[in-house]
Amino acid sequence: MIGRYTLPDMGRVWSEAHKYELWCQVEVLVMEAHAAAGRIPADSVAPVRAAPAPTPEAVAEIEAVTQHDVIAFLSAWADRTEPRSAAAYVHFGMTSSDLLDTALALQLVESTDLLLARADTLVAALRDLGLAHRDTLRVGRTHGIHGEPTVFGHRVADLAFGLARCRDRLRAARADVAVAKISGAVGTYSNITPDVEAYVAEKLGLRPTPVATQVVLRDGVANWVAALAGLATLCEAVALEVRHGQRTEVRELSEPFGSGQKGSSAMPHKKNPIMSERIAGLARIVRAQYVPVLEGVPLWHERDISHSSTERIALPDAAAGVDYLLHLTTRLVTGLVVDTGRMRANLDATGGLVYTSAVLLELVETGLSREDAYAVTQAAAMETWQTGVPFRETLRKHAGDRGLPLDEARLDEVSRPERYTERLGPVFAALAALT
């Protein structure tokens, strides 16, 4: 991910320098396990542990010759080990994927913990926004067209629970990827014993993978990226609500607009939903990482490296992208400007057409068939659309043409917008308890 969209903590997790720090950590733990079992000299561990991780530049210089990143790392690290002879026991009995997959698990876990913290913050922000607008009347829209009255908090609650579910899927995916694999070439423990894997896993807060060939099967990693794609898409759903709400014709919502901010180089009046549009664009980038990672599940026999080049790009990009998306969406939600007056004006803009479903049911209760009641209501509604005459008046006209009496008191009641939201108490009770 480019620096523009990479926040510092997540950037460090996926930096080359941190990767080599994790590689050193894994290798030292393997040596400790071997030394405890008497397989390597006990005095070889301390010098290796004390050796600083090699710099990315040093590894890159050697890799330009070896064309093998792990060998380049081991050589560069050995150059920093005193005495250098202690480095002979580094990587003892291991294969490259033991190091790569176990260290990758640590990066995935570290990334996940950062993302879960941000997701918790966004869930709380959405919860608070929904509760603040539990009584803010607005029109509900289907197909972009006015439907029936609702409250803004209801829509926000839907997004809050959706985001919480996506967060929980990521929490479950964390367990899928938090595995250590130290079983040697093709995964048979031929040159290393299972107790080493168990020791390393425990020290790193991972669990030994129950089975692996030379690599850990990538279904868990793919599931992790799928969880990130879900979070990104929920962020986009929030942003889409704002983008629609900020349109000039709607004007119910708007992004925060800071002092000195400019909306257009040519049109000084513009206040554009740039945060929401950025969220929509980055969500596409995150979703795009899923299929390439999923295609890394089927590999040739015990392993190939067709997954490796993909993951070097897809995993840090997905993690950094979602990290930024959660951060930006939280800023959007906490700074959102809600025009409650405009919401009410839009609710009333169609002259009462938002009450047609309730009127239909009232006419059915008078004894009309549903077909006849629908015909009367629709005819009145279409005239209101065409002429702008309030729906109550066109309804009286069309009902009178058919000799149908109207109970004005009942019509007053069904045209009271609050009645459409009075049964939402359980929704907001559940929202208040959302964490």
Confidence band, pLDDT 50/70/90 cuts, at residue 257: confident
Confidence band, pLDDT 50/70/90 cuts, at residue 406: confident
CB 139 within 8 A of CB 417: no
Mean pLDDT of the chain: 94
According to the model, what pLDDT value does residue 387 have? 95
pLDDT at 323 over 80: yes
pLDDT at 15 over 90: yes
Per-residue CA distances from 80 to 23, 37, 77, 432 (Å): 15, 26, 5, 56
pLDDT at 260 over 80: no
Q: Do domains 1-92 and 95-350+421-435 have the same CATH topology?
A: no
Query: Does the annotation count 190 as an active-site position?
Result: no
Neighbouring residues of 61: CB distance < 8 A, sequence distance ≥ 6: 76
pLDDT at 134 over 90: yes
* Residue 351 per-residue DSSP state: T
pLDDT at 234 over 90: yes
According to the model, what pLDDT value does residue 236 have? 98
According to the model, what pLDDT value does residue 404 have? 84
Residue ranges covered by each domain of the chain = 1-92, 95-350+421-435, 353-414
Confidence band, pLDDT 50/70/90 cuts, at residue 420: confident
Catalytic residue, from 143, 265, 269, 301: name it.
143
Tell me the mean pLDDT in the region 340-355: 95
The sign of the dihedral angle between the CA atoms of 56, 62, 63, 64 is positive
According to the model, what pLDDT value does residue 1 have? 79
Which of 244-258, 269-283, 331-345 is the most confident on average?
331-345
According to the model, what pLDDT value does residue 301 have? 93
Range scoring the smallest mean pLDDT among 262-266, 292-296, 415-419:
262-266
Q: Which of 177, 291, 167, 299 is nearest to 235 (CA)?
A: 167
pLDDT at 141 over 80: yes
Each residue of 361-388: pLDDT tens digit? 989 988 889 999 999 999 999 999 999 9
- Sequence-ordered strand ranges (E) for 167-323: 179-180, 207-208, 253-254
Per-residue CA distances from 152 to 65, 133, 328, 341 (Å): 61, 6, 21, 12
According to the model, what pLDDT value does residue 264 have? 67
Query: Does the annotation count 264 as an active-site position?
Result: yes
According to the model, what pLDDT value does residue 75 have? 96
Tell me the mean pLDDT in the region 415-434: 94
Range scoring the smallest mean pLDDT among 31-40, 88-97, 356-365:
356-365
Per-residue CA distances from 27 to 20, 73, 101, 103 (Å): 10, 11, 12, 10
pLDDT at 269 over 90: no
Distance CA 318, CA 310 (A): 12
Confidence band, pLDDT 50/70/90 cuts, at residue 165: very high
Catalytic residue, from 85, 190, 264, 369: name it.
264
Q: Which fold has domain 1-92?
A: Fumarase C; Chain B, domain 1 (1.10.275)
Range scoring the smallest mean pLDDT among 192-206, 244-258, 320-334:
244-258
Tell me the mean pLDDT in the region 322-336: 98
Tell me the mean pLDDT in the region 6-23: 98
Which one is predicted more confidently, 259 or 361? Answer: 361
Tell me the mean pLDDT in the region 288-315: 94
Range scoring the smallest mean pLDDT among 175-189, 320-334, 400-414:
400-414
Q: Which of 19, 17, 178, 200 is nearest to 92 (CA)?
A: 200
What CATH code would you report for 95-350+421-435? 1.20.200.10
pLDDT at 266 over 80: no
